[in-house]
Amino acid sequence: MATNNIEDRYAEEFPTPKMEHSYTTPRTAIGLALTVLAFLLLGVALLPLFLVIGFVIVKGANRLNFELFTGSIPVALQPGGGIAPAIVGTLIVVGIATAISIPFGVLAAVYLSEFSSGRIARWIRFATNVLSGVPSIIVGIFAYGVIVLTTNTYSAVAGGFALAILMLPIVVRTADESLQLVPQEIRWASVGVGASNFQTVLTVVLPAAMGAIATGVTLAIARAAGETAPLIFTALFSQYWPRGIWEPVPTLSVLIYNFAAVPYQNQQEIAWAASLILVLLILLASILARWVASRSTY
Amino acid sequence: MNTTTNNSQMTAQEARSGTEKTIDRSFFWTTRILALAVAGVLLWIAGQVAWNSIPAIQQFGLEFLATAAWNPVEELYGVLPMAYGTVVSSFIALLLAVPVGLACAIVLSENFLPLSIRTSLTFLVELLAAIPSVVYGLWGIYVLIPFLQPIGRWFHDNFGYIPLFATQYAGPGMLPAGVVLAIMILPIIAAISRDSLAAVPSELRWGSYGIGSTRWQTIFSVLIPAAFSGIVGGIMLGLGRALGETIAVTLVIGNSNNLSFSILAPANTIASLLANQFAEASGLQKSSLFYAGLVLFVITLIVNILAYWIIQRVKKY
């Protein structure tokens, strides 16, 4: 092979690196294996989502009929029935929670983003984050201690109070973030034409941030509608139509919880159907919220 | 944001009428009081739960944490089996969710896929968090528990000599609870790890590629170390969620108050104990339940504050 040609000798000593992709060198093989593994794990992560939604649809669709939305909750061994009282109860409890948490949360966020000096705001934001990490069952026993023990009755109000506390950090955080995104020039313009702080916030800044706040509120409501733990000993449950806000009321989530492990087939089917309704509502709300958010950013 | 206040004070404050000033000031104070009240709620929760647990604290003291009996007849209460269940079920959840969540974060933050596909996959992973706990529980009873049966049996047959697998797979127990928890905390771990990976300055990537590293060498030796504290923060936040998760766990864990080391046997967590017994309890039992709740509250508080602190430090950088 020895040649005298200088170019051939050079090529022998320093072979041109192959530019095509080889899958057999350790570098690329390991890389490829890791890529495959990562995608497999991503698949593993998404599998439960499809399995849960798939099973809820298949098992819930059996009972998806008119009676489900109008019928009253069946007791053990009673055939038929529906979840109408639980739908109404969920609306009542979530409505109470929304009525408490939105004004409270949005005004608190106004202080954080508009009026506060850094130090206090930092501490309150910290407390808000910690509050969102408090387990929902702890919020449940807290609401029991505060409302049920003082009024001596399980009630929709107690349930709404518990859900309001779970919604509060979400509302504060999203409203705070949305208000901070409102351009400073708008505030200056408002103040420049002679508006007071009160007028500026209420007629200029809040309306400008309304879209983003509404998104956060929708997500908070969706979260609250699915919560069970804080309701099982505040709003409790009943088989009957809600008779008032100071009485125990049935809710969709507690209905599913109560009927999940019973040996009666009819109640099990009702639980699956209620799950379908709940999941559909929540998916709809989160898709809607994200869609609105993606269209109304500054 | 303070400029609003300053500007309005500078412009026309003197010209304002008294009522207008009053409205302005009371609006300011309303928002301030409500903002402070958000923090106040946290203290209120702690105070209320602690107040209601005083009788049990006086009766049992710290023994409560080391006693394995939960006996309403003899009025003897200890939370050891539930504390064990809480810790072990959360640990199983982390064991399963951390590698999967990290893989999701890597795929969704690096350029393996076009951005549009990544965005929709990110949304799908986040949807896992939107499904209510109780629906996971229902699914767990009828789908997951039967599905895990052969796996549980295999562990018992092959590793039965290890105390963790010492019993036959009973259906409801720590294993299905851990799997359900893993599914529920996965989106948090994936989202926060993804954010911290995406926040690593691109110069580090370019530098790594520039000296001839492959994509995976870059990921393992540059990106993950750089995003490490953020990832740890995400895992801690997931742990906090797993420790406090109630309903899904209650439906699949079997709610046995006996201490068993086997993850195949029925068990209980503090949160499930509260969910099961709180409504019917009274007297010392209720107070003991509040005490158990206080223990859970303090543990999750510590975990969450640590997580928040770690993530906050990462944000600055």
**Residue in A155, A198, A237, A267 to test binding to B, most B beta-carbons within 10 Å:** A198
Arithmetic mean of pLDDT, A130-145:
93
A71-110 pLDDT, tens digit per residue, is 888 888 888 888 899 999 999 999 999 999 999 999 999 9
Whether the pLDDT of residue B14 is over 60: the answer is no
Helix or strand (DSSP H, E) at A295: helix A265-295
The partner residue sitting opposite A232, judged by closest CB among B35, B36, B275, is B275
pLDDT band for B138, please (50, 70, 90 cuts): very high
pLDDT band for B75, please (50, 70, 90 cuts): confident
B169-209 pLDDT, tens digit per residue, is 888 999 999 999 999 999 999 999 999 998 888 888 889 98
Comparing A16 with B33, the larger pLDDT belongs to B33
Query: Which pLDDT belongs to residue A117?
Result: 77
Asked if residue A257 lies in contact with residue B141, where contact means CB atoms within 8 angstroms, the answer is no
Query: Which pLDDT belongs to residue A2?
Result: 52
Whether the pLDDT of residue A18 is over 70: the answer is no
The rounded mean pLDDT for chain A is 87
Query: Which pLDDT belongs to residue A3?
Result: 56
How many whole angstroms separate alpha carbon A184 and alpha carbon A188?
7
Q: Which of A38-47, A70-79, B107-116, B149-158 has the lowest mean pLDDT?
A: A70-79
Q: B259 is written with which tokens?
A: 């201490």
Residues 273-292 of A with CB under 8 A from B: 275, 278-279, 282-283, 286, 290
Q: Print burial letters for A68-80: b (CB count within 10 Å at least 16), e (below 16).
A: beebbbbeeeeee
Asked if residue A150 lies in contact with residue A86, where contact means CB atoms within 8 angstroms, the answer is no
**Residue in B138, B277, B294 to test binding to A, most A beta-carbons within 10 Å:** B138
B76 φ, ψ (degrees, to nearest 5):
-120, 120
Asked if residue A119 lies in contact with residue A125, where contact means CB atoms within 8 angstroms, the answer is no
Query: Which pLDDT belongs to residue B15?
Result: 60
Chains A, B: CB pairs < 8 Å? 282
Arithmetic mean of pLDDT, B55-73:
87
Q: B246 to chain A: which residues are within 8 Å by CB?
A: 135-137, 228-229
Query: Which pLDDT belongs to residue B4?
Result: 46
